[in-house]
Amino acid sequence: MKSTQTGLRDDAREVLQNLVLRRRDAEQNGDKGRASKQSPYAAMTDFTTLPGMHELRLQRSMADVVGLANPFFKMHEARSGATALIGGRSCINFSSYDYLGLNGHPEVQAAAAAAIETFGTSCSASRLVAGERPLHRELESALAAHYGQQAAIVFVSGHATNVSAIGALLGPRDLVVYDSFAHNSILLGAMLSGAERRAVQHNDLSALDELLAKHRARYERVLIVVEGLYSMDGDYPDLPALVELKKRYGAWLMVDEAHGLGVLGETGKGLFELHGVDPCEVDIWMGTLSKTLAGCGGYIAGQTALVEYLKCMAGGFVYSVGMPPPMAAASLAALAVLHREPERVARLRANSKLFWELATARGLNVGTSLGHAVVPIVVHDSIIAVRLSQMLFDHGINVQPIIHPAVPERCARLRFFLTSEHTSAQIHATCDAVAESMKSIGDGLSIVGAAR
């Protein structure tokens, strides 16, 4: 009989799941009589028969049985950062990507307001149709300069940035190699491209070397995609080694800096600053504007030829509305504050280190996190993760669980995002609350016993 320190025992989980399935079967049997009089194609027009709906309903039923509330889609009633107002109550908030506290910064808000006065709230069409705004070009120039590149392009969605860019750059004769922990948008972009797709174990550059040595000659173009800071685990790749590999095998290297900008490096410039690498050694820099830069959308920075190609060939740019001027202005102002106030990055680094040290000192499992803004607490079981999130919320701490299928079941966790605006007192109180709540949960058997 297998068990984990904080997860349900296998036999206990089976009892709970069988209980829920029996309840579901009874409900479904009652529906069959009604369905028999319907069209034979009725099931094909019923949204509840979509793939994945069975698992979703099972999860919700199990949560109901053990008395767990839905931890997602909480209503935030004011601007959220280090704190959040939820249900009329102020909470310590660890579910925000506002790493440097720039969402709501006076300069950022003033820039957005001024853009509304001049340009309104929307471009009303794609930039090819509706034309450019000065703010688009200013933001793209500033992003290109940040990465030492010739040009940049901004998209209205960070997810669509990866999907559209990767989808446009590769084809059936090409290969996309990505880290096994890569974001969903990277995988979808690779699928859209029609290229061969290969995943390598997380941060295993020996495996990447071996794969390229064995297969590189079979393809025309090869794209290696990694993340600057992995948002589920809080670790990062070895950029100098990746640059050496991409040169040796004649490949493009793409780094997704969605969570790295403003976090990594002495002044928050990102993964290249952390490793002391010339950013021009990377072929494609991708990032998002919705985290450190307090806006919305994504960007690609690289050579002029790359950017000009994407402006004409990337569907997420060509066929989507141009970035709203207020969002472009907000991100442009936030980037300027990032460059001018490195002390924000220093505060974030200190807060992240403090949280990581306090968590590990209390015996909490932080996985592979290196203590840079993202620190998971791995609990190995989705029900325990949701229960722990609920207990912490009752203590005035808002943190979301990451559960199956977002991660494998035995990797379920709470994911803490630190910001420069969290206080030492908030961090100490949170780590104490997590440790106390974990202790009270024990091995979870009492929850299942109540369900029987």
The reported pLDDT for the residue numbered 72 is: 78
Would you place residue 50 in the very low, low, confident or very high pLDDT band (cuts 50, 70, 90)?
A: confident
The reported pLDDT for the residue numbered 25 is: 59
| Domain assignment of residue 19, yes or no | yes
| Domain assignment of residue 205, yes or no | yes
CB-based contacts of 78: which residues, under 8 Å, 6+ apart? 84, 85
- 335-354 residues labelled b (16+ CB within 10 A) or e (exposed): bebbeebeebbebbbebbeb
pLDDT in tens, 167-184: 999 999 999 999 999 999
Are 36 and 164 part of one and the same domain?
A: no
pLDDT in tens, 89-104: 999 999 999 999 999 9
Would you place residue 383 in the very low, low, confident or very high pLDDT band (cuts 50, 70, 90)?
A: confident
pTM across the whole model: 0.87
* Range from 66-80, 167-181, 273-287, 365-379 carrying the lowest mean pLDDT: 66-80
Are 328 and 224 part of one and the same domain?
A: yes
Are 323 and 394 part of one and the same domain?
A: no
Helix (H) or strand (E) holding 102: none
- Mean pLDDT of the residues in the chain: 89
Top-confidence range, 2-11, 20-29, 126-135, 237-246 = 237-246
> Of the candidates 289, 305, 340, which is a domain's last residue?
340
CATH number for the domain including 375?
3.90.1150.10
pLDDT in tens, 219-237: 999 999 999 999 999 999 9
| Domain assignment of residue 160, yes or no | yes
Would you place residue 7 in the very low, low, confident or very high pLDDT band (cuts 50, 70, 90)?
A: very low
> Of the candidates 304, 323, 340, which is a domain's last residue?
340
Q: How far apart are CA 356 and CA 361, in angstroms?
A: 9
Are 243 and 354 part of one and the same domain?
A: no
Higher pLDDT, 141 or 132: 141
Calculate Rg over the CA atoms of the chain. 24
Q: Dihedral (C-alpha) 299, 302, 306, 312: value to the nearest 10 degrees?
A: 30
The yes-or-no verdict on residue 1 having pLDDT over 60 is no
Structure tokens given for 188: 């979808």
Are 82 and 55 part of one and the same domain?
A: yes
Are 209 and 319 part of one and the same domain?
A: yes
**Percentage of the chain lying above the pLDDT 90 cut:** 74
CA distances from 368 to 110, 226, 230, 359 (A): 39, 16, 10, 13
The reported pLDDT for the residue numbered 36 is: 54
Would you place residue 446 in the very low, low, confident or very high pLDDT band (cuts 50, 70, 90)?
A: very low
CATH number for the domain including 231?
3.40.640.10
Query: With 0-12 CB in 10 A as exposed, 13-18 as middle and 19+ as buried, what is 52?
Result: exposed
| Domain assignment of residue 184, yes or no | yes
Are 320 and 443 part of one and the same domain?
A: no
- 139-152 residues labelled b (16+ CB within 10 A) or e (exposed): bbeebbebbebebb
Would you place residue 281 in the very low, low, confident or very high pLDDT band (cuts 50, 70, 90)?
A: very high
Are 194 and 307 part of one and the same domain?
A: yes
Stretch 178-192: mean pLDDT: 96
| Domain assignment of residue 100, yes or no | no
> Of the candidates 340, 374, 393, which is a domain's last residue?
340
How many domains does the chain fold into? 2
Would you place residue 10 in the very low, low, confident or very high pLDDT band (cuts 50, 70, 90)?
A: low
Kindly provide the residue ranges of all beta strands, DSSP E only, lying in 289-408, ordered along the sequence: 298-302, 374-378, 397-398, 400-402
Are 229 and 285 part of one and the same domain?
A: yes
Q: Dihedral (C-alpha) 46, 47, 50, 53: value to the nearest 10 degrees?
A: -120
pLDDT in tens, 331-364: 999 999 999 999 999 999 999 999 999 999 999 9
Q: How far apart are CA 313 and CA 164, in angstroms?
A: 9
Residues spanned by the domain of 28: 1-95+342-452
Would you place residue 65 in the very low, low, confident or very high pLDDT band (cuts 50, 70, 90)?
A: low
Q: Give the closest residue to 353 by CA, choosing from 434, 433, 234, 259.
A: 234
Are 312 and 379 part of one and the same domain?
A: no
**Torsion angles phi and psi, residue 396, rounded to 5:** 85, 30
Structure tokens given for 123: 């471009």
CB atoms within 10 A of CB 87: 10
Stretch 32-58: mean pLDDT: 73
pLDDT in tens, 24-41: 555 555 555 555 566 778
The reported pLDDT for the residue numbered 451 is: 36
Are 118 and 49 part of one and the same domain?
A: no
| Domain assignment of residue 203, yes or no | yes
The reported pLDDT for the residue numbered 69 is: 73
- Residue 298's SS3 state is strand
The yes-or-no verdict on residue 49 having pLDDT over 90 is no
| Domain assignment of residue 101, yes or no | no
| Domain assignment of residue 220, yes or no | yes
Are 86 and 116 part of one and the same domain?
A: no
> Would you put residue 3 in left (φ > 0), alpha (ψ -120 to 50) or beta?
beta
